Amino acid sequence: MKIRPRRLLTVLCIMAAVTGCAFDGADTNLDGLAPTVEGYTSVTMPVTEAETEVTTEETTVTGPVALSIEETADSILKSMSAEEKIGQMLLAHSNVTDVADEVQKYHLGGVLFFAPDFEHSDPDTFRAECRQINTMVSVKPFLAVDEEGGDVVRVSKYRAFRDKPFESPQDIYKKGGLDLVITDTQEKAQLLSSVGLNLNLAPVADISDNKRSYIYSRTLGLDVEGTAECVKMIVRNAGQNGVASCLKHFPGYGDNTDTHKDTAHDSRELYEFYNRDFAVFESGLTAIKDCTPAVMVNHTIYDSIDDQAPASLSKVVHGVLRNKLKFEGVAITDDLGMEALKEYTGDESVYVAAIKADNDMLCVPDAATAYKALARAYNSGDLTSAEINKHVRRILIMKLEHGIIT
């Protein structure tokens, strides 16, 4: 096929305008023009005779299409070793001498800090510690805390971080309604974000009108509609200020006793959860489009759902979360340090049982023990690569959605 000189000259001029390069007739090296976009692969496609047609009527410049969050997660997942994937499923307590070393050693997906971590620290010192932790692994971890306000505060408990502790959401609402809850959430998230934290294990999405119940003071003390609206706005405003949320305690704490100390049974009928507790969780889960919070699953046994296992170890309860509430995000166990949980796993590790139940991250007091248990299960084939990949992919997607990794 012949290309007319005038038409060729026009095309060359267009190419020069687009690339910013001058053509002087010498051989031109275009390698340096390839976009340096993560995930981009330069591919040389064969050119057919039909594709040699040149037209001056319309010029379209194309480049690599930006990867979706899911595609980026898949790309990261492919680059990870089995050891890194196993560690990614652990949200470990910070109760070690050198947290950064622990993160590096076990490739931890997250660290949960407690009040002692802030007691003798200050914003600059703690921020520097978080920065160091982030450099220890290829996938930045969740740096998490329980900063609900009221009975549960870790950071604002100390004057080096705030003049006074955050009040409970219930008290905040009584003083100023939803507007003050939003303002309080924004200030809370800004404080946590400013010191390097990126995940708050809050808000409490539970409903209780029994003032004598264990969970009541940590709830908003409102009805279903009021609680749902507040939870939605807490998740939204925390996210807009750099902090991801974790709704707790699925499927709803009710008026049960403290499950960190002993086993509790909930005898409510399933329909009661749909008309009450689940409405609040659904409101929080849809608070930010394409940016899903995590959900913490508690240790109560729900007789109408699965009377054989605590919710945190129940495939049935997680089936409700995944299939009925259509939740595709990160499910985190409540603290697995409770001895009573072992009664329900027999000879199997509680950590392995929790992963098999469809939790994505395990809240653990001892990273080494949990990591070794999961590694043994993987090496023996008890946990498959496909199962581990499923959980790690959810974690990566959440981290990408909230800008923790890019």
In the DSSP assignment, the letter for residue 306 is: B
Distance from C-alpha of 152 to C-alpha of 196, rounded to nearest angstrom: 19
Which tens digit of pLDDT belongs to each residue from 330-381?
A: 999 999 988 779 889 999 999 999 999 999 999 999 999 999 999 999 999 9
Q: Which amino acid is at 101?
A: D
CB neighbours (10 Å) of residue 64? Answer: 14
Structure tokens at 137: 């692994």
What pLDDT shows up at residue 3?
A: 43
Mean pLDDT along residues 315-331: 97
Helix pair 277-285, 224-239: axis angle to 10 deg? 20
17 pLDDT more than 90: no
263 pLDDT more than 90: no
Distance from C-alpha of 257 to C-alpha of 261, rounded to nearest angstrom: 9
Confidence grade of residue 257 (pLDDT, cut at 50, 70, 90): confident
Q: Within 13 Å, how many C-alpha atoms sit on residue 388's CB side?
A: 26
Look at residues 229, 206, 181, 208 and name the one whose alpha carbon lies nearest to residue 278.
206
Mean pLDDT along residues 79-96: 97
Distance from C-alpha of 287 to C-alpha of 247, rounded to nearest angstrom: 11
382 pLDDT more than 60: yes
Beta pairing partners, 142: 110
Look at residues 128, 123, 139 and name the one whose alpha carbon lies nearest to residue 88.
139
Which tens digit of pLDDT belongs to each residue from 51-66?
A: 334 344 555 556 677 8
Domain boundaries, the chain: 5-52, 69-401
Out of 3.30.300.30, 3.90.1150.10, 3.20.20.300, 3.40.50.300, the CATH code matching 69-401 is 3.20.20.300
Among 21-25, 219-223, 238-242, where is mean pLDDT lowest? 21-25
What pLDDT shows up at residue 61?
A: 53
Distance from C-alpha of 314 to C-alpha of 297, rounded to nearest angstrom: 10
Which tens digit of pLDDT belongs to each residue from 202-222?
A: 999 999 989 999 999 999 999
Among 12-21, 77-86, 97-106, where is mean pLDDT lowest? 12-21
Among 49-58, 175-184, 261-270, 360-369, where is mean pLDDT lowest? 49-58
Distance from C-alpha of 371 to C-alpha of 336, rounded to nearest angstrom: 13
Mean pLDDT along residues 305-310: 96
Distance from C-alpha of 281 to C-alpha of 287, rounded to nearest angstrom: 10
Which tens digit of pLDDT belongs to each residue from 278-293?
A: 999 999 999 999 999 9
Distance from C-alpha of 222 to C-alpha of 168, rounded to nearest angstrom: 13
